[in-house]
Amino acid sequence: MKSFSLHAYIAWFKREPLKNAAKLLLLLSIFCFPFQIRTLIFSPDLFLSGNFNPFTAVFLSFNNLIVLLAGLLYGFWILKKRLFLKKNERDFFWWWGAFGAVILLVSFWSFNSQVHWYTALHWGIIFVWFILLVSDLLSWRVKLQCFIGSMVFQSVIGFAQLALQSSVGLGKLGEPLMNSNVPGIAKIDWQGLKFIRPYGTFPHTNVLAGSIVFALFACMYLYQKSLKSILICTLFFGSALILTFSRSAWLGFLIALIFSLVFTRVRHKLVVFASLVFVFCGILFTQFQGPLVQRILGNDGQSSLERELYMNISKEMILQHPLGVGLGNFTLMMQDFTQQKLAPWVIQPVHNVYMLAMNELGVQGLVLFLLMAGNFVFIVIHERKDHQLESSGALSKKGLNFSITSLKIALLFTFLVIGLFDHYFFTLEQGQFLFIFLMAFLCYTEKKDALPRMKS
């Protein structure tokens, strides 16, 4: 192993200072995306209790600044090198342009145009991150490894929160203030006791769970040559996933795993299943046995009632505003569509990405969103047909042979399933970053370079 040399590192950095600085910032943004290091800039409504609506508030986050600075440095480097984007190589920019057109159209009748444009501006920052991810700054192996490292850190925090049943003191990194008496914190009620669910530094435990699913599939791809590594990753992330008590993430993971194993040639299919069964059985012998069984059986009335309430509000809103109410405006208007007085912590978007897209961007927004999802499904299926013989290539036949196409299938179906039961891909900054990370990866192909290319 080569020893670290400060002189060599400085020499490397000086060769391409703009590009290399952008690389380091991109790595930092991937690792830090779960951190809620932010400051409140604007909120259209405040409650007498001192609460505010986080779904309509505007924040300036540490990760936003990192992404903008990385994008600025990378842009200067592109201009300096006289690089350009090859026209017919990346069709995903058409999707961004189409969504931009829909956002502009809906702005003419949005309920609160200020919230609408602030939210659109935030999606613009997310777009910069997308450009950085699909660029040639870093290989996808490095990006996935950095993502996995971040999720290891978040899972360890989650284990500590679960054991202590409170925060662990990482408030400066954005860890929520948690204990069983804090309203709005996700809990499991069991025989008169309240068990808080782990958050890491994410805004909600479900976002942590979805990110862990992505990390687990990434491990299956990156470390497939070593069954020992697969076992360790599955035991670790499997335990973390189960103990989030997130049913949408459980279902998304199982369906995605089945699809990836059925539609791709994967050896040792029982390794992951056996590891998860072992973890599940082990947890049944702990104090979380009761809450775990309760979550599986769905016997948590309050959560189900709230989800039903959000769905009814969503349906009524669609009937009255089929062309959309504007980005971020769902929670501003939801009280008008129910006679029930909503507590501040109950004011949340409908727990369905597809319904929420139709509520805020109208029927035209939902159609565009479904077309984009269908396009990615078509791309992945087409890639699978083109790579049916890839198991005889560079990947070891002794490993799981979990190809990059398998990983795309797994992550895509994870997103599609979780989107049926949650909203964070569309509403929370960490969920949006996770969604764009997936979208950028789906655009990646092994046969083609990403962008940019040198002018001839």
Partners of residue 344 on adjacent β-strands: none
Per-residue pLDDT, 448: 44
pLDDT digits (tens, 9 = 90+) for 238-292: 889 988 988 888 888 888 887 777 765 555 556 666 666 766 666 665 666 666 6
Instruction: Give me 223's structure tokens.
Output: 């470390």
User: For residue range 55-93, what is the model confidence (pLDDT) as tens digits?
Assistant: 888 888 999 999 999 999 988 888 877 665 544 345 677
- What's residue 373's pLDDT? 84
What pLDDT does residue 456 have?
Answer: 36
3-class SS letters over the chain:
CCCCCHHHHHHHHHHCHHHHHHHHHHHHHHHHCCCCCEEEEECCCECCCCCECCCCCEEEEHHHHHHHHHHHHHHHHHHHHCEECCCCCCCHHHHHHHHHHHHHHHCCCCCCHHHHHHHHHHHHHHHHHHHHHHECCCCHHHHHHHHHHHHHHHHHHHHHHHHHCCCCCCHHHCCCCCCCCCCCCCEEEECCEEEECCCCCCCCHHHHHHHHHHHHHHHHHHCCCCHHHHHHHHHHHHHHHHCCCCHHHHHHHHHHHHHHHHCCCCCCCHHHHHHHHHHHHHHCCCCCHHHHHHHHHCCCHHHHHHHHHHHHHHHHHHHHCCCCCCCCCHHHHHHHHCCCCCCHHHCCCCCCHHHHHHHHHHHHHHHHHHHHHHHHHHHHHHHHHHCCCHHHCCCCCCCCCCCHHHHHHHHHHHHHHHCCCCCHHHHCHHHHHHHHHHHHHHCCCCCCCCECEECC
Distance between CA atoms of 34 and 431, rounded to whole angstroms? 9
Summarised one tens digit per residue, pLDDT across range 338-394 is 888 877 778 889 999 999 999 999 999 999 999 888 888 777 777 666 655 444 444
| 434 close to 210: Cβ distance less than 8 angstroms | yes
Q: What pLDDT does 87 receive?
A: 44
pLDDT at residue 398 is higher than 50: no
Torsion of CA 129, 135, 138, 143, to 10 degrees: 50
Please check the confidence at residue 453 and state whether its pLDDT lies above 50: no
Specify the pLDDT at position 155: 95
Tokens at 344, concatenated: 């501040």
More reliable by pLDDT, 198 or 230: 198
Distance in angstroms (rounded) separating the CA atoms of residues 205 and 184: 12
**Could you tell me which residues are beta bridge partners of residue 84?**
453
Q: 163: which 2 tokens?
A: 């054991």
Q: By the 8 A CB rule, do 26 and 88 touch?
A: no
Q: What does the alpha-carbon distance between residue 452 and residue 185 come to, in Å, rounded to a whole number?
A: 44
Compute the distance between CA of residue 116 and CA of residue 326 in angstroms, rounded to an integer: 5
Enter the pTM of the model: 0.86
Q: For residue 308, give every residue at least 6 positions away whose Cβ sits within 8 Å of its Cβ, in sequence order, or none.
A: none
Q: Using the predicted structure, report yes or no on whether residue 186 has a pLDDT greater than 70.
A: yes
Cα separations (Å) of 293 from 131, 245, 337?
Answer: 43, 10, 34
Kindly tell me if the per-residue pLDDT of 237 is higher than 50. Answer: yes
Percent of the chain at pLDDT > 70 equals 76
Contacts of 303 (CB under 8 A, 6+ apart): none
pLDDT-based confidence at residue 95 (cuts at 50, 70, 90):
confident
Q: What is the mean pLDDT of residues 208-234?
A: 86
CA distance 198 to 241: 10
The whole-number pLDDT of residue 392 equals: 43
pLDDT band at 182 (very low <50, low <70, confident <90, very high): confident
More confident call, 286 vs 325: 325
Q: What is the mean pLDDT of the chain?
A: 81
pLDDT at 29: 95
Above 50 in pLDDT, residue 197?
yes
